Chain A
Amino acid sequence: MTAVLEIKDLHVSVEGKEILKGVDLTIRQGEVHALMGPNGSGKSTMAYAIAGHPHYEVTGGDILFNGESILDLEPDERAKLGIFLAFQYPVAIPGVSFANFLRAAVSNVRGYKERAREQAAKSGDGKVIGSELMPMREFRKELMAKMDRFHVDRSFANRYLNEGFSGGEKKRGEVLQMAMLEPKIAILDESDSGLDIDALRVVADGINKLVADGMGALLITHYQRILNYVKPDKVSVFYDGRIVLTGGPEVAHMLEEKGYKWVEEDLAKELAAA
């Protein structure tokens, strides 16, 4: 079955201020949907709302995953469904190694814990005997293979999560996490920002490989640049908390040429006409 994430007439407020004012959007597995818009238009709010950040209050509309509302789910439950958010600003967590963290995350998302508990229930005394974690050898093997495939230096494994990482390293780290967690739908919040051309290529290459494997991607970006490397199926333009235009890749080129000013003027005309 192809997973579908549907956003329907979504209204989101932050600290009482409405940021999203009725967004409709559908993302399917295997598709790349680019969401472009000027700074402050609410793109990141959308990303956080989908992932379930508690500070982003959904005041209207719905978010459906395969037809079921996910609004009542905690962020970790959304991750287990197969939703991934690549952060624009990944936080650094001192003392937590990339590998240890990722092993715990992968084990949770792939249901090792549930299986260990089921077995414990069957064993009679209810004690958890086996590990709730993916076996270390298996994990290391997969991690190393994916580090190579996604051009991430092997030294990442033993470094503390994002601590002392450059901007480019953080974004590569997000791609590696995405590759390990194998989401059905990924929201990439400005994964291209602040990257030099080499890092941008690595990130784009990672997204392309995962999309080829069947992942759906919502690519949130300010610039057209990354779309030279990742070909979108659809492009939507975001403005003042709404999607004002959706089309094919040509929309991105138009934006590149005319800038966001064009959207603004167009919108003004439309409003005047109404």
Chain B
Amino acid sequence: MTIKEMTSIYSITAAGVDAIGQRYEEPEWLRQARRAAWETFESIPWPTYKEETWRRTRLTGFNLDDFTLAQESHPRADSRAALPADLLANLEKIDSGGALIFLDNTLIYADLDEDLAAQGVIFTDLRTALDEHAELVRAHLGALVPASENKFAALHYALWENGAFLYAPKNITVEKPFQVIVQFSDGKAHFHHTLLIGEENSELTVVEDFMGAANGMSDSVAEIYPHDAARLHYLRLQNLDHTAWNFATMRASLQRDALYRHLQASWGSRLSKVWIDLEMEQPGSHGELLGLYFPQDHQHLDHHTNQNHKRERATSDLLFKGALDDQARSVYQGIIRVWPGAQKTDAYQKNDNLILGPHARADSIPGLEIEADDVRCTHGATSAKVQEEYIFYLMARGLSRRTAKRMIVQGFFEEVLNRVPVPGVRTKLEDEIARRVGLE
């Protein structure tokens, strides 16, 4: 086969799906799963505004044919010193117990604390995990977010090539965060998968950073498994280029007495459609979902959340805060579902928006569906402009208008920042907020 033929096959088509299976010599179950996912993708119509989920977010200008797959392999860096300067700088902002850096589908760098590896912690790319821990991967991949979840999840399962895999055995507590940096090249379609598994009574923290994809698209899935009494913290920083299309489906399944904390920081992309579900699968579990977003110019960021309380005595707490500048738009749709019998549920959901730009707009649609009678569920949404009286007060104390505005915006996000469990991440978020408000 010539390179040209190879390129044409390696595309977003049924032939491309098969080409990926061949390229990596994948087991038959996986090739079948890919084909089934492609069929599912083809059977689901493209979303239109007539669906409630898509009523406020339109895919005008999005065309899958505009993208090709990122098939190029990249050389491995043997040490941190061999990494490109910007990636290294990003990596060193956080004191981590292990790091993975992806350039498209290639794992270009990996390190893991030796003691952790000796204790049975697995932290590697999904391709390696598939070779070395096939049963673990097979049991979890696609088990939580099925291909049928939505059209983008189906496309993801047909075309994914790599991703991050983290596994902690029973009773292992890891203090330092693990860091994953995902750098996407321009103009391509990217399908990164994240699989986090914490066995009984383990504790893990993961920071995953997404960058690049100018004029491209990212269609990612994350599946998170906090088993009984496990404590998982997942901090997801979406820093994609402002010309990227971004679709992400994430779900955590919380077992008995498990704790799961999710931070979603959405900075980049021209348009984002993001689903984050907390499945309170078993009694006594506790889920937290923190979000912050700060779209500018014409950015459009849409987040869906689901706090799904299936069993009794589970608690969940959601706080999403967004500032919107220029003509930016945000959509927040959140639901708390309490199943019959999920008594003593305690669920909280709050979305606050601060409107900075004259033409910015935030839509907030919180919702409750409660089928148990002994529960406490609270939700609320606010949307406000920066008050001129605040600015005047600060200016009368000698702050410039710009500094005054920056303080007010930083103050607005403080409630979320205070709850960020990794200090290095908090600093990164503060820097990004300051950059967006405009330093003097």
**A residues neighboring B (CB under 8 Å):** 51-55, 74-76, 78-80, 84-85, 87, 90-91, 93-96, 100-102, 104-106, 108-109, 160-161, 177, 181
**B residues neighboring A (CB under 8 Å):** 387-390, 392-401, 403-404, 407-408, 410-415
Which of the listed residues B389, B390, B397, B414 has the most CB atoms from chain A within 10 Å of its own CB?
B397
CA distance in complex: A94, B416 (Å):
12
Name the A residues within 8 Å of B394 (CB-CB): 93, 101, 105
How far does the Cβ of B237 sit from chain A's closest Cβ, in whole Å? 21
CB pair A76–B393 under 8 Å, yes or no, is: no
How far does the Cβ of B402 sit from chain A's closest Cβ, in whole Å? 10
Name the A residues within 8 Å of B389 (CB-CB): 91
Name the B residues within 8 Å of A79 (CB-CB): 395-398
Name the B residues within 8 Å of A108 (CB-CB): 398-400, 403
CB pair B407–A96 under 8 Å, yes or no, is: yes
A105 contacts which of B398, B401, B408, B415 (Cβ < 8 Å)? B398
CA distance in complex: A181, B397 (Å):
8
CB pair A93–B411 under 8 Å, yes or no, is: yes
CA distance in complex: A54, B404 (Å):
15
CA distance in complex: A232, B315 (Å):
60
CB pair B410–A93 under 8 Å, yes or no, is: no
CB pair A105–B411 under 8 Å, yes or no, is: no
Name the A residues within 8 Å of B408 (CB-CB): 93, 96
Name the B residues within 8 Å of A177 (CB-CB): 397
CB pair B399–A104 under 8 Å, yes or no, is: yes
Name the A residues within 8 Å of B387 (CB-CB): 91
Instruction: Using CB atoms, name the residue of chain A closest to B417.
Output: A95
CB pair B410–A90 under 8 Å, yes or no, is: no
How far does the Cβ of B380 sit from chain A's closest Cβ, in whole Å? 15
How far does the Cβ of A234 sit from chain B's closest Cβ, in whole Å? 24
Name the B residues within 8 Å of A85 (CB-CB): 396
Given A74-B401, A91-B390, A93-B390, A51-B396 contact (CB < 8 Å): yes
CA distance in complex: A109, B397 (Å):
8
CA distance in complex: A192, B388 (Å):
25
A-B contact sample (10 more), CB < 8 A, given A91-B393, A94-B412, A161-B411: A75-B392, A76-B398, A78-B396, A79-B397, A93-B408, A95-B410, A96-B411, A108-B399, A108-B403, A181-B397
Instruction: Using CB atoms, name the residue of chain A closest to B418.
Output: A95
Name the A residues within 8 Å of B407 (CB-CB): 93, 96, 100-101, 104
CA distance in complex: A87, B389 (Å):
11
How far does the Cβ of B440 sit from chain A's closest Cβ, in whole Å? 8
Given A93-B407, A95-B414, A96-B410, A87-B393 contact (CB < 8 Å): yes
How far does the Cβ of A170 sit from chain B's closest Cβ, in whole Å? 11
Instruction: Using CB atoms, name the residue of chain B closest to A180.
Output: B397
How far does the Cβ of A182 sit from chain B's closest Cβ, in whole Å? 11
CA distance in complex: A181, B396 (Å):
11
Given A79-B396, A105-B398, A181-B398, A95-B413 contact (CB < 8 Å): yes
CA distance in complex: A97, B393 (Å):
15
Given A95-B410, A160-B411, A90-B398 contact (CB < 8 Å): no
Which of the listed residues B401, B411, B412 has the most CB atoms from chain A within 10 Å of its own CB?
B411
CA distance in complex: A52, B390 (Å):
14
Smallest CB-CB A-B distances: 8 pairs: A95-B411, A95-B414, A79-B398, A96-B411, A75-B395, A109-B398, A105-B397, A108-B398
CA distance in complex: A95, B401 (Å):
18
How far does the Cβ of A101 sit from chain B's closest Cβ, in whole Å? 6
CA distance in complex: A207, B413 (Å):
35
CA distance in complex: A55, B408 (Å):
20
Name the A residues within 8 Å of B388 (CB-CB): 54-55
Name the B residues within 8 Å of A161 (CB-CB): 411
How far does the Cβ of A227 sit from chain B's closest Cβ, in whole Å? 25
Given A94-B411, A94-B412, A96-B411, A104-B403 contact (CB < 8 Å): yes
A-B contact pairs, 29 of them (CB 8 A): A51-B396, A52-B395, A53-B392, A74-B395, A75-B395, A76-B395, A76-B396, A76-B397, A76-B401, A80-B398, A91-B387, A93-B407, A93-B408, A94-B411, A94-B415, A95-B411, A95-B414, A96-B408, A96-B411, A100-B407, A101-B407, A105-B397, A105-B398, A108-B399, A109-B397, A160-B411, A160-B414, A177-B397, A181-B398
